[in-house]
Amino acid sequence: MHKALLLITVCFLFNMAGAQSPALSRKERTTRERILINEGWKFMRYTGAPDNLSYDVRPEVTDRNDNVVADTKPTESIKVAEDNNVLKPWILPVANEFIKDPAKHHQRPPGHPGGRSLFVQNNFNDQDWESVTLPHDWAIKGPFYKEANAIVGGGMGRLPIQGVAWYRRKLTITAADEHKSIYLDIDGAMSYAIVWLNGHLVGGWPYGYNSFRLDLTPYVKPDGDNQLAIRLDNPLNSSRWYPGGGIYRNIWLTKVNKVHVAQWGTFITSRDVSASAATVDLGVSIENKSTTDQRIEVITDVYRMDDQLNRTGNKIATFPSSLSIVPGGQKIKTEKSVSIKDPVLWGPPPAQKPNLYVAVTRLLSNGTVIDEYETRFGIRSLQFDPLKGLLVNGEPVRFQGVNQHHDLGALGAAFNTRAAERQLEMLREMGCNSIRLAHNPPAPELLDLTDRMGFLVIDEIFDSWERKKTPLDFHLIFPDWHEPDIRAFMRRDRNHPSVIAWSFGNEVGEQYTAEAGAAWAKKLHAIVREEDSTRPATASMNYAKPDMPFPKEMDILNLNYQGEGIRDAPAYAHLRGIRTSPLYPAFQKQFPDKLIVSSETASALSTRGTYIFPVFNGISAPVSDSTGGDPKQQYVSAYELYTAAFGASADKVFASQDKHPYVAGEFVWSGWDYLGEPTPYYSARSSYSGIIDLAGFKKDRFYLYQSRWRPDLPMAHILPHWTWPERNGAITPVHVFSSGDEAELFLNNKSLGRKKRGAYEYRFRWDSVVYQPGELRVVTYKNGKKWAADKVRTAGNAARLQLSADRSNIQADGKDLSFITVRVVDNKGLLAPRAGNNIQFELSGPGEIVATDNGNPADLVAFPSKERKAFNGLALVIVRAKAGTAGAITITARSGGLVSGQVIVKSR
């Protein structure tokens, strides 16, 4: 019998509190306030020489080339001399909360460096600075760097991410808060964040993707204005993709009584989960910031939640109360259990439902509530079986996953819940049920969405450890921050029901260093297991082989590209780099008790709606300037056969997985195009690897994955389009993606043959079709019966613009968005599939145009532009309603020689 890794746990979405409670005294009136402070900020980014402050000394960068193949071997770090004129000694003590060994805690030096800077002073006049609302990405508005040797190249998105910037805001603290603990909670700031309050250096956090908390209490002036100043420093050559710049996630001010539930202070797990009962275990960490011991009672009630995350009905369970003495200046942890009868389980659709609960924890002192803390969670069991794969609540679920970077296309890194929800909705339509967060902690709200929508998530941290991939990446701070970063990341996320595994590294250079690298893997793995022993911990491997020491330290085996083989097919024989035969069997033989999953597959490349001839006659080939690529236009053919140098087509991946059914599934690189890393054309701005382009338009590959991942959905999709006036009489291959098993193609009602899909074939191909204008139509069959059909027609000249909104009603909250598609059509309403008309956008009413896009990776028009060329007949305009103003927002698109188009979006 094969040993399976069994996981049963219960998880929370995010922690939130704020209910009013009976007054304790004039000094302690409320339990907890969590105040969003995203508005009212002043912002300045240096255009000249920055200030004399720095987190630490950095090595000099002599090679700024970022056109590097993604699986290039990482290199050793460069040592730099220590410098006493840095702020690191004052920042490191913030990490102590997340360093287990007290002997390794950092001692803060005396003083407040930077306190004389003009920007931290209360009386500094910042009226000439830019007014911004958070989340804010200073780089996304551009302009793009277009020159060949740009200071920021294609790897980091050709946008001005670099530099030092300051954010300033006043905080009003009342006399009622005098005896509270007051914290600043930053969900993400890129990067090297350092915070001052009233001229005092509070602390900071260098890793730009983690959430962190700073204690403002010692520096607060009660009953008056308090000046908050935040300095960020974003280095060049610090990332392999677009990182964004700025305070790009939410910021909160948290006010609590001196005794309170600690930061990320609840952890809920469960055991003995069945349809009839589940035992739920709750740990609560209580912090006492006062100087005296406190006698505290802890009571936690459990409620169901509806689809809108509201409590429903009466409480369904109550944990036994606990009574504890919490020593002054210390923390304690209480642990209790409760049995929940007939639990509604959390699981991924469509077979299961993502049911959720909320636990409401109250701290009482002398019978009076002094803190209240909410924990959303779900009950589910997971089993990782080496042969059966993943079982959720006892039911097998195959990973039909994608990798997602953190940017939101034309919106940049500034997180927006609706934009992220739109991405997930489209992925779910394709049949995707799993997300790997590449390669960093996400915004907290993203995991709220995956919990509510039922996605399975591999939560990941670190693209590098000690060895570097870019000159100034995370390796510079890894020695000091790997432990606190892991623990903070996990304590924030560890109870989300959607998170089913941890990844603590992606393709790290330590794969190459034998026992030394494995020792680092073992050390990091131990930290992960200390924080959460209920989920498997792993790191993704693109180089480590079964006989190497590195994979031994993993609970499950996350393979990047190695399952289907790297540069192993004849079309890839001329390429240099990692060369690996398909290794599923070798890993399975070496580790028969470990589940295997492909954490990155494919890395196929294409530009939507672009078809380049001739077409490769095999199933997978690396793109080149002569095969599938157009270096002049920077296009890659959308026949979906072409890949990165280390990649493989979807067809090749599917065949490899089907030949090895013990593999638990895949995470495709990538779900959406993302900013930066524009393989193969580094003079472009964004990637080519997405199944969906940067604007949110589906590539043909979308339907190839849908045909596999939704086999019960009747669907068929023809490519290419059929408007080729210059190809009359020329061979123009036709491919069809369908969930059916047979297909018949018709050109102008003449059958071109009926084909049955063979073993390990995933598309229907008619590679000898001679083009003639008219109608191309396919009828597909399944088990001998008609299943689905599709057709494409030759379009006429572009005649008018058609606008449609993804949502015609949005909230007037200054955050909600409507994504409006513009189609260039002929006079019969057919999409003009090669149209590139220049389009001007206008808006009237209580809204604003946030950005425009068209999905073309080579388009270097700045995203805020209200003028955009269509790309292969499509363009996008993103509209936001103004806060507090309801009404009709009219969006008009105009283009010379075309009938204009219009759509109305209502804000409420």
Q: What are phi and psi of 741, to 5 degrees?
A: -110, -5
- Distance between CA atoms of 802 and 216, rounded to whole angstroms? 53
76 is catalytic: no
> Could you give the C-alpha distances from 644 to 141, 177, 623, in angstroms and in order?
29, 57, 7
β-bridge mates for residue 335, sequence order: 283
> Which two structure tokens, joined as six digits, stand for 510?
């330590």
The CB-side HSE value for 754 (13 A sphere, CA atoms) comes to 9
Q: What are phi and psi of 865, to 5 degrees?
A: -60, 140
> Which two structure tokens, joined as six digits, stand for 617?
């006659």
> Which two structure tokens, joined as six digits, stand for 337?
């259990």
297 is catalytic: no
- Distance between CA atoms of 517 and 519, rounded to whole angstroms? 5
Residues in CB range of 102: below 8 A, 6 or more apart? none
> Which two structure tokens, joined as six digits, stand for 284?
């609560």
- Distance between CA atoms of 743 and 366, rounded to whole angstroms? 75
- For the chain, helix, strand, coil in percent to 5 are 15, 40, 50
- Distance between CA atoms of 434 and 170, rounded to whole angstroms? 41
- Residue pair 871/858 in contact by the 8 Å Cβ criterion: no
Of these residues, 507, 510, 666, 742, which one is catalytic? 507
- Distance between CA atoms of 136 and 247, rounded to whole angstroms? 6
Query: Beta-strand (E) ranges in 137-250?
Result: 163-173, 181-186, 193-197, 200-205, 212-215, 224-234
Q: What are phi and psi of 661, to 5 degrees?
A: -65, -15
The type of residue at 723 is: T
CA torsion sign for 40, 44, 45, 51 is negative
- Residue pair 257/194 in contact by the 8 Å Cβ criterion: no
CA angle 266, 271, 274 (to 5 degrees): 125
SS3 500: strand
- Distance between CA atoms of 626 and 320, rounded to whole angstroms? 70
CA torsion sign for 663, 664, 665, 670 is negative
- Residue pair 299/278 in contact by the 8 Å Cβ criterion: no
Q: Pseudo-torsion of CA 411, 417, 422, 423, nearest 10°? A: 70
The CB-side HSE value for 358 (13 A sphere, CA atoms) comes to 24
> Could you give the C-alpha distances from 628 to 601, 623, 636, 641, 680, in angstroms and in order?
20, 5, 6, 8, 11
Of these residues, 600, 640, 666, 742, which one is catalytic? 600
DSSP state of 692: B
List residues with catalytic annotation. 507, 600
